[in-house]
């Protein structure tokens, strides 16, 4: 939840502010907002690196915490960089690219890690239930944040926007730290589940040979395009 709520203020509020209020190009705003998805290929090498390089005896928790804090901080500074672009486009654009990129890297680093940890902690029978609960909690948290933002931004002002983004940053940091606390067993305790590791290339080849996986991939692409086309 801590990572997912960082998406709400950017995609539901800031993008419209940048286009409607600040008069920025819709194409430019779309490219900035899409950075997390453009950076999503990083998930494969990050996951492979985390598998073989535990930090402090943990393979997932450092990336969940680090990615979550990076996503929260990057998301917070996107609002400031947007208004900076309105007064000094070149410097503001550079700051915006950095802020949106930090947000995107954080989202991808945390996402691949908590999904991998979910798969490792849950057995095959309980895995689908665990993922369902996780996604339900994420959806409910984004709805709650959306309602909170609508209250905080009425009436709207740049100061109210900064305050709202700061509140989301604080909530995200608290949720990330609380959610990751004592969640993952040590790398030694989890080694029995981690012996058979495949490289990203091997995983892609296995998926390419699976017709069900190929159809599901096409389905996911269509769903994501439909969601973000709005």
CATH number of the domain bearing residue 53: 1.20.1250.20
Same domain flag for 31 and 57: yes
Same domain flag for 183 and 84: yes
The boundaries of the domain holding residue 216 are 198-230
Same domain flag for 96 and 207: no
Tell the burial category of 128 from Cβ atoms under 10 Å away from its Cβ (0-12, 13-18, 19+).
exposed
pLDDT value, residue 229: 57
pLDDT value, residue 225: 67
Same domain flag for 125 and 230: no
Same domain flag for 219 and 181: no
> Which residue matches tokens 């981690």?
194
Same domain flag for 38 and 23: yes
Tens digit of pLDDT at every position of the chain (230 positions) = 788 899 889 988 999 999 999 999 999 998 999 888 888 888 878 877 877 777 887 888 888 899 999 999 999 999 999 999 989 999 999 999 999 999 999 998 888 888 788 877 777 777 778 878 887 888 888 889 989 999 999 898 999 999 999 999 999 999 999 988 877 776 555 554 444 556 666 767 777 787 877 787 787 777 766 665 55
Alpha-carbon distance of 71 to 73, in angstroms, equals 6
Same domain flag for 171 and 189: yes
Alpha-carbon distance of 78 to 75, in angstroms, equals 5
pLDDT value, residue 167: 95
Same domain flag for 211 and 142: no
How many structural domains are present in the chain?
2
Same domain flag for 187 and 217: no
What is this structure's pTM?
0.80
């Amino acid at each position: 939840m801590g990572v997912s709520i960082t998406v709400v203020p950017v995609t539901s509020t800031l993008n419209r502010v940048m286009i409607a209020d600040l008069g920025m190009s819709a194409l430019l705003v779309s490219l900035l907002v899409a950075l997390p998805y453009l950076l999503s290929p990083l998930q494969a090498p990050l996951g492979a690196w985390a598998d073989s390089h535990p930090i402090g005896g943990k393979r997932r928790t450092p990336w969940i915490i680090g990615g979550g804090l990076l996503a929260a901080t990057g998301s917070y500074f996107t609002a400031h960089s947007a208004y900076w672009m309105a007064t000094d486009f070149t410097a503001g654009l550079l700051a915006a690219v950095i802020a949106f990129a930090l947000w995107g890297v954080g989202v991808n680093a945390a996402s691949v890690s908590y999904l991998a940890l979910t798969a490792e902690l849950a057995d095959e029978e309980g895995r689908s239930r665990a993922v369902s609960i996780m996604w339900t909690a994420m959806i409910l948290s984004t709805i709650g944040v959306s309602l909170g933002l609508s209250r905080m931004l009425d009436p709207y002002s740049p100061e109210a926007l900064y305050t709202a983004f700061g509140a989301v940053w604080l909530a995200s940091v608290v949720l990330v730290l609380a959610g990751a606390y004592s969640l993952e067993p040590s790398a030694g305790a989890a080694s029995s589940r981690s012996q058979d590791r495949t490289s990203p290339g091997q995983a892609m080849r296995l998926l390419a040979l699976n017709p069900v996986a190929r159809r599901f991939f096409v389905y996911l692409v269509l769903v994501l395009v439909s969601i973000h086309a709005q």
